[in-house]
Every structure is written in structure tokens, then in C-alpha cells.
Amino acid sequence: MKTQQNNVTSTGRRQFLKASVAASGGLMISFSWPGRAAHHEVKSHSDSATELNAYLLVDTDGSITAMVPNPEFGQNVMTSMPMILAEEMDADWHHITAKQADFMPEEYDRQFTGGSQSMRQGWKPLRTAGAGARTMLVMAAAAKWQVPTSEITVKNSVVSHGSGKSASFAKLAADAALMSLPEEIALKNPENFTVIGQSKTNLTGNKVVTGQPMFGIDYKAEGMLTAGIVHPPAYGTTLETADLDAIKSMPGIVDAFVFDSMEDDYTRNYFDTIGFTHLIAIVGDKTWSVLKAKKALQAKWKAAEASTHKMDRFGSLTDVTVPAGLESTEWHRDQMEKLLDSDLPVLREDGDVAAIFSNTPAERQIERTYFAPYLAHNCMEPMNFFANVTDVGVHVAGPLQAPGFIVGSVAKRVGVPEDKVHIEMTRMGGGFGRRAYSHYLVEAAAISAKVKKPVKLLYTRQDDMTMDVYRPTYMVRFRAALDENNKLTAYQVDGVGVPEHCVAHNRYPAGAVTNYLARGAAVASNISTGAFRAPRSNFMGASEQAFLDEVAEMAGKDPIDFRLALFDKALKDPVGEAYDYDASRYAGVLKEVREKSGWDNMGDDVKRGVAAYYCHNSYAAQVITVTEKGGLPKADKVFSAMDCGIVVNPIAASNMVQGAVIDGVGNAMYGEMTFTDGKPDKDNFDRYRMIRMNEIPASVDVSFVKNTIDPTGLGEPPFPPVFAALANALYQQTGERFYEQPFIHQLEKISKSA
């Protein structure tokens, strides 16, 4: 078990703590994220100013405001990050309020919600900022009372001395702001935490449930117009003609025009989409006017030509080719099957897999192929953004996950320097990776620049579902061989996908099998795809863990025991140069879920499945039991075990895991987007099946492996193993293995044949 080795942090002249007297007379501590070369200049603060990247403000009334740099979409950073600050400050939690920071690229290294990295990367800076504030308050009190700092204690926003003297943070704030920080600041030992590890209710929850205007779709500004977009009906097509004059004459319509959201010579980044960039904009006085105009629009579409553009993939410049043609789901499947049967590029090879398979009897070998369809994100709040482009600069406001990856696209499109683009971040009504691709922000800015008015761009649900950045479709083939003692002696994984493959070649069971081979390749496509909760892992966790369950059955072993034996091999006699997981922690979540679920004491009549997976720096294991309801199996009880290091806010962490479980069950059972001649076959919830309230598990029990490892990811890691645990449980219930998502199609066939 890893432990925190050093609870002393150095500030230094080039580090990120700096104090100043705020305009209100309070103490402000501001900081940059690790890796910044130098700190910024601290400006005066008032309630209306949001000039800093992240800071603490101790006001004269005793209130403490924590600016939260990472965008919030339900993962609870608006509470968990202030908890870290309050912990190291020894602040009274009841004095803490939170406020979403604007995008400040000169201050933040990573103002991004994605990859389950917010808490992992913010842990040390937030703790240091809180400890720095506490240190200066103590120094101010020591100077005032003429006593050593070592004799002073801090608790619940009060600084005290053994002589009986005490003062609140509010009384000391102005003096503390004049103190110079020492080179080193002591951080608390985790065993002394009093806020971290305690369940705290959401600081902004009341605003959410009372319907206060926090979301981008709520945003209003004086003189604001409403905009809508019309995109081609099918991928692989583009606009030929449109009767825009007829639209302009409609009541309430201000303008209608064709525009390009990206210039041809623009080098795109990883979060710029390859989808529709040649669009029709309709601008009106209100939403209803725009919706009627969109329905009335007469347009003709034609086949698009193949194209190539430059893309900067995190510093690596590459050419991306977008093929022509009208693609369909069945064509994608055919292409993936052909690719699987080809000689795929090798990603990793340990031992001699081919020799083992050729020398192992067929009855001790197993080969299985798994398939997953495209998935739409379907955020509860459709895409939207406000934009006001003026001669002074650009002000945009709305929900997005990755402002740093889109600001350059906005600046380039409207022809201003990046430092003239001000991004105000609102709360997001769902994300799951979709809002990292903020093309709708660029579209809003381009429309505002054309009409020279502030506009709010609104997508309809149909726009959102048919112009998504879909989870790619994947196919993977596994092959395994057992020796005469029923031990796994060879393992092969071949993964393909459209437009990316799904194989993480250093993941489990790499390092745990003597003979291991991983290969992968992809099929090019013009359909726009991107990150979906736990990218690639959401399929690999499902397929790999379902396959291992079948291998364990062939070996005649309990599925948990079978997995634990592999982890023991990785611990005692690892294979190859690298594998990217900690086998002891991986085994730990399996042991935890075994105990919490009562796995060893379940009767034969309980139909259950187990799975475990590692991704985004954390470990998750799930046990799911199923029962029959309405003639179909239904997930009944779920036991989830997590190792994500120190859990800052247990109630919020449990809620996040429960949400991931329900999301996983829903997508495994029902999630599916298909295409016919480039056109999405589903454009609303009447056809795109989502999980319903009466279909969610009756209970989701969440437990956490206790340790003092710094926090790691939690938003994404619980998601992938849910698919496999459910598939394995359904096998126990129906006697059939499930190789294709969504499972509902096979279940309905089973039900009809019963």
C-alpha cells in the first residue's frame, strides 16, 4: 500500500502562493496548478470580479469563498474542492461557499473536466493553498500577540493561544495578508483530517433543486437573439442549395445564412470535430420563431467529397483524412470483421502465443468475438452557448468541459487573439465527454460575429442526437488456451473499431500471462466520434471481463478465484517490461466486493455475475444479481467496490458510483445508435432507448477500499465493469452468453422462444 511520504510542501519565489489585501479587507490566497513557470500578479478582489484562476477569500464577515476552476457537471467538484481547502485551513465548514471560476488560461494548467483527473491533479495545489492561508493567519496572530507560532492552534476558523487569546479569521485577515510565507508549509497527515473523509451536502445543491438559473440554457443577456443551426441529414453529405429568402421573410426571423464553423486552413485540435462544419444558421427574436423557420426550410443536399485536414494531437501534428461516402452500420460491421481476419499490427507480444495455440488441444482453447454499437451521449441539457462578438473582444458563456481546447478555435474563427476571448463557464446539465467537443461554442461565436448581436445558440434534442460526437463502434476477438492444470497459458486480444481500435495493450491481463499478444487497427470513417464515459474502456472492460468469466468456467474455477490467481502471478512473477496496473490494488477491490456482496455464501438460486476493471488510475469491481420481471431478466442488486485512494466526500463519491452503475446497466441493456446511408436512424427518445425508473437496480451498495493514497479518478472507473458483471449474471439466468450490445435484443429473442 502506498502512503504519503512527505507532508511538507515548498512554496518558493516561483511557486503558486501569493497574498494580497483584498478590496474588502480580507485575505486572498491564489495559486496556479503544478508546472506553471511563474505566478501571476494578484489583483484587487470584489464580489463582482473573477480575475483569478483559483483562490481563497476570507472576508471581514467571516465568510470564505472558494473559486472552483474545474467545470461542474454533477461530479461534485463545487463541494469536494472547497472541502480540501477548508481542511488545510482548519476553517469552519459552515463558513464556506463555492463559486465557479471563469476560464483563465494564463492562470491554470488544466482547467478541464475529463479523464477523471480533477481531484487527482488538484489535490496538492488545493491543500497547499489552504495550508498557506492557515500559516499566514497564524503568523498574523503570533505577531499581534507577541508569541511563537508554535504555540498557536487553529480550529473552526478561530486562531487561539494558550494564554486565552483568540481571534476569528475575519479579525486577522487584513494583518495576515501582509505576511510573507515561509519557504515550506506543513500539510496535514491524512490521519488528522476532520473535513476530508466526512460526508458533506452539496454546496450548490439547493440552487439546482430549486431551479435557479445556473445552467447554460438559462443564460440571458440584454438584446440577446436566439439562433438555431441546420446541418446535413446524413454524414457524407453537404449543402447544395437552400431557400434562405423564404426563411428571412418569416415573422420573428432576423437573419438566415450559410456559414463555415471552421476555415479550411485551420489546424484542428483533438477536440475539434470532423463532422458537419458547413451549416445553415437561423437567427430570430425567440426560440419558437427559430424552430418554425427550421421546419419550414427547403434545402437540397449533395454527396460530400473526401477531405484531409491537419490535426494537432497534443503536440503531434498529423494529417486526418475524412473519407467520402454514405456509411451504414452493416457496412461498418463487415469492415471490422474483415479487419479482424487480417494480419493486424502487433501492439505487444510476450512469449510465443502462436506456438502455445498450435500445441494446445482444441478442447482447452476458447475464442470469442464481441461487438458494441455507436452510442449517443444524450445529455439532459442539449448543447447550447451564448456568444457576443464585438470590436472589443469575445464574451461567451455556457456549458463545456474543456475550454482550453476550444479557445483557439473560437479565436481563429472570429479573428481575434486568444486573450480577447473570455469564457464564462456555467454548470453543465450532463457531459460524459460530449461537452469536451465544444464546436457549438464556435458556431455561436461565428453566428454572433455575422449578425453583430449577442446570440444564444440552442440545439434541439434532434440536433443533439443527430449531430453528436458518438462513442465509436468496436469489435474485439479474444483467444485463450489452458494448460493441463487448467491455468491460463496463452491469451490473445485483437481489437478493431470505427474510427479507432479499443486495445490498451499494457492493461490486465498483460503481465499476468506468460504468453500474451495484443493487436489492433481501425477503419476510417466520416462519422463524428469521440470520448464517451471511460473511452475505449467502456467496451474493453465489458468484453474482456465477460470473456474471462467464460475462461474461468472452462477451467472449472470460481470467477473471482480465477482472476485473483492471475493477479498473484503479476505480483510474484510478472511477465514483460511493463503493465499499467497495481496488481495488489486490483486484487483488493475483488476481495472487497467478494466480502461485501457475500459472494461465497450466495445460494445456487442467486443468479450473479462479477467483473473488475482498472482505468483512469482507479480500480472498480462489481457484483450484480438478476431477477426476472415481466418475462425479462432485470438487474436487481449491485455491489460495487472502489479503490480511488482517499475519498474526499463519501456521500458524493457513493452517489457518483451509483450513477455510473445505473448508466452502465442502461447502456448495456438498451444503448444503440445505428446509421443507414450516413443518416442516424434515431433522433429522439421515442426510438433511442434509455433506462427507465422501473428498470434500475433495486439497490446499489458502494464500498471503498481504505488507504492513504492520494485521490485518483472516480467519474469513469466504475462504469466499464458494470457491462460485464451484468452479462455474466444474465448468462447465469438464461444459460446464454452475451456477445453483443445492447443485450435487450438477445433477451427479447430468448423471451419469445421460451
pLDDT digits (tens, 9 = 90+) for 281-330: 999 999 999 999 999 999 999 999 999 988 888 888 999 899 999 999 99
Residues 65, 97: contact at Cβ < 8 Å?
Answer: yes
d(Cα 589, Cα 641) in Å, to the nearest integer? 6
* pLDDT tops 50 at residue 663: yes
**At residue 743, what are phi and psi to the nearest 5 degrees?**
-70, -20
8-209: CATH architecture: 2-Layer Sandwich (3.30)
pLDDT class for 8, splitting at 50, 70, 90?
low
Which of 52-56, 679-683, 746-750 shows the lowest per-residue confidence on average (mean pLDDT)?
52-56
More confident residue, 302 or 171: 302
In CATH, the number for domain 343-375+470-753 is 3.30.365.10
Q: With respect to CATH, is domain 216-308+383-458 assigned 3.30.365.10?
A: yes
Tell me what the mean pLDDT of segment 601-605 comes to. Answer: 93
Tell me what the mean pLDDT of segment 460-484 comes to. Answer: 97
Element (DSSP H or E) covering residue 727: helix 720-734
487 grid coordinates:
491455468
Nearest to 524 by CA among 553, 497, 557: 497
Residue environment code for 165-177, b if the CB has 16+ CB neighbours within 10 A, otherwise e: eebbbbbbbbbbb
More confident residue, 278 or 265: 278
Tell me how crowded residue 105 is: count the other CB atoms within 10 A of its CB: 16
SS3 558: coil
**At residue 419, what are phi and psi to the nearest 5 degrees?**
-75, -5
Q: Where are the domains of the chain?
A: 8-209, 216-308+383-458, 343-375+470-753
pTM for this predicted structure? 0.93
Tell me what the mean pLDDT of segment 608-616 comes to. Answer: 97
More confident residue, 641 or 51: 641
Tell me what the mean pLDDT of segment 359-381 comes to. Answer: 97
Distances (CA, A) of 331 to 335, 336, 497, 498, 541: 6, 9, 12, 11, 25
422 grid coordinates:
473570455
Do domains 8-209 and 216-308+383-458 share one topology? The answer is yes
Query: 298 burial class (0-12, 13-18, 19+ CB within 10 angstroms)?
Result: exposed
pLDDT digits (tens, 9 = 90+) for 245-261: 999 999 999 999 999 99
pLDDT class for 173, splitting at 50, 70, 90?
confident
pLDDT of residue 266: 86
Please give the share of the chain, as a percent, with pLDDT higher than 90. Answer: 77
Which of 267-276, 472-481, 697-706, 715-724 shows the lowest per-residue confidence on average (mean pLDDT)?
267-276
Tell me how crowded residue 390 is: count the other CB atoms within 10 A of its CB: 14
Tell me what the mean pLDDT of segment 206-222 comes to. Answer: 93
Q: Could you report how far apart the first and last alpha carbons of the chain are, in Å?
A: 50
Residue environment code for 300-339, b if the CB has 16+ CB neighbours within 10 A, otherwise e: ebeebeeeebebeeeeeeeeeebeeebbbbebbeebbeeb
pLDDT of residue 44: 38
pLDDT of residue 35: 31
| Average pLDDT of the chain, as a whole number | 91
pLDDT class for 219, splitting at 50, 70, 90?
very high
* pLDDT tops 90 at residue 502: yes
* pLDDT tops 70 at residue 658: yes
- The vertex-487 CA angle with 484 and 492, nearest 5°, equals 110
Which of 18-32, 707-721, 735-749 shows the lowest per-residue confidence on average (mean pLDDT)?
18-32
DSSP alpha helix (H) spans, 598-679: 650-670
d(Cα 275, Cα 625) in Å, to the nearest integer? 41
pLDDT digits (tens, 9 = 90+) for 516-531: 999 999 999 999 999 9
SS3 338: helix
Q: In sequence order, what E strands does 117-210 have?
A: 152-155, 158-161, 166-168, 184-186
300 grid coordinates:
437540397
Q: What is the dihedral of CA 341, 344, 348, 350, to 10 degrees?
A: 50
Tell me what the mean pLDDT of segment 204-222 comes to. Answer: 93
* pLDDT tops 80 at residue 353: yes
SS3 716: coil
pLDDT of residue 571: 94
**Cis before 680 (ω within 30):** no
Tell me what the mean pLDDT of segment 425-448 comes to. Answer: 95
pLDDT of residue 273: 81
Which of 54-63, 94-103, 208-217, 706-715 shows the lowest per-residue confidence on average (mean pLDDT)?
54-63
DSSP state of 154: E
Please identify which residue in the block is written with the cell numbers 451549416: 279
445 grid coordinates:
461565436
d(Cα 718, Cα 657) in Å, to the nearest integer? 6
Residues 651, 710: contact at Cβ < 8 Å?
Answer: no
pLDDT of residue 108: 59
Q: What string of DSSP letters covers 559-586? A: HHHHHHHHHHHHHHS--SS--SS-HHHH
83 grid coordinates:
472541502
